[in-house]
Amino acid sequence: MTDHAPGLPHGPELDAEALRERALTALVTARARTALLTDSVDDHDLTAQHSPLMSPLVWDLAHIGNQEELWLLRAVGGLEAIRPEIDGLYDAFEHSRASRPSLPLLPPAEARIYAADVRGRALDILEGAPLHGAGRPLERAGFAFGMIAQHEQQHDETMLITHQLRSGPAVLDAPEPPRQTDAVALPAEVLVEGGPFTMGTSTEPWALDNERPAHRRDVGAFFIDTAPVTCGAYQRFIEAGGYGDERWWAPEGWAMVREHELSAPLFWHKDAGQWLRRRFGVTEPVPSDEPVLHVSWYEADAYARWAGRRLPTEAEWEKAARHDPASDRSRRYPWGDGDPTPEHANLGQRHLRPAAAGAYPAGRSPSGAGQLIGDVWEWTSSDFLPYPGFVAFPYREYSEVFFGPGHKVLRGGSFAVDAVACRGTFRNWDLPVRRQIFSGFRTARDA
């Protein structure tokens, strides 16, 4: 049994030049997106804190450069530190997001110069790095370069969340996602047969520690929604009094609803009987056929209970997304082993919203479920826990310190996630109260 994808660089037979090109493309793509997100606003917006939940954009910019310096220049390249005195300022564990505006951060111009200086030196290191299978773990298959590209793209998603939270006119633009779908002809749910499957990975070269190792997991038969829950379906929950009925809520969720007087997803409001939402500086009618966005785990769980269903477990989600019963193997993606294309999924900030439910038929899994990659992060019922045989790499603070019942797992990525940081095994996690993230969900039931 294997989750090895034909043609995917892995193991000692790696083609170093192909890996070098792959790493270069990932780094350049991430930096272009960082520039778009930081150059589209003025210095005031870069240094302001638009929400206590988020860092100032200028902190993210310099943090991206600092992490690249730590791992590519110092750890891989063996170079002396450029700015050792700022390491503490940009250590995400030393200072809370709410406190970061009070720190002596690099101003915008200096942060840009620093990040560019680090990048130039990192590309010099990449040009000469061996990138073979037998080298140091950080260098093997170009892992450190892939890790840094993923890290930057993850902060790009964080900065896009900050853009959503900032007030003022729109500064970002993107074409509309596909609206043409066959959703009406699709079944509401699909059956996933019970039995074992391979969860996680041991061979995906840039997989992060919490995705490893591959292991067999037995899952009972279940039904899962063909597409994520839509805004229209969620409105029915609202209109049925869902936010006012304690029966549907976990105790902590009900306390959150009462304390903050919640009555709809974040950024929604009702005007003259119509639901509207604010999206990147634009107020627009809530589209009924689009996956619901900006809901917490508690809201997703309450909706599922109201609908007589439940959230899928993380293992159920991954089996529905990856398992091919014909070959009894787990694919890299729902559609197969090939990298995502615009026909497969809504990724990479190519659009600034989810596509309508039922879009991307080429991206469906063998189970028949669609939009499992891209569009919206999907809450699962599972706590964020290590897989059997987990080993922290290259540092405990990436995953291990978050394990436990405090964080819930999200799967699948959103329109704000780049393909380098999204695959069938990729695991995201957050606190169950979080609503500012690009989160939605789908429901399941026992077969």
Q: Quick one: pLDDT at residue 135?
A: 66
Which pLDDT value is given to residue 285?
98
Contact 429, 409 (CB under 8 A): yes
Residue 374 belongs to some domain of the structure: yes
pLDDT of residue 10: 41
pLDDT in tens, 74-90: 999 999 999 999 999 99
Q: What Å distances lie between residue 277 and 57, 282, 292, 297, 321, CA to CA? A: 24, 8, 11, 20, 30
Band (17; pLDDT cuts 50, 70, 90): confident
Distance in angstroms (rounded) separating the CA atoms of residues 346 and 417: 9
Range of the domain at 228: 175-447
Mean residue pLDDT across the chain: 94
Indicate if 193 and 144 belong to the same structural domain: no
Asked if residue 224 and residue 90 are part of one domain, the reply reads no
Check whether residue 116 and residue 201 sit in a common domain.
no
Q: Which of 165, 187, 216 is the endpoint of a domain? A: 165
pLDDT at 184 over 80: no
Question: Would you place residue 319 in the very low, low, confident or very high pLDDT band (cuts 50, 70, 90)?
Answer: very high
The verdict on 204 and 279 lying in the same domain is yes
Phi-psi region for residue 358, left (φ > 0), alpha (ψ -120 to 50) or beta?
left
Q: Are strands 439-440 and 377-384 parallel, antiparallel or unpaired?
A: parallel
What pLDDT is attached to residue 190? 98
pLDDT in tens, 97-155: 999 999 999 999 999 999 999 999 999 999 988 886 556 889 889 999 999 999 999 99
The least confident of 122-131, 242-251, 312-321, 347-356 is 122-131
Domains: count for the chain:
2
- pLDDT level of residue 178 (50, 70, 90 thresholds): confident
Alpha carbon distance 279, 267 (integer Å):
8
Give CA–CA dist 240/235, Å, rounded. 8
**Does residue 6 fall inside a structural domain?**
no
- Tens digits of residue pLDDT in 258-278: 999 999 999 999 999 999 999
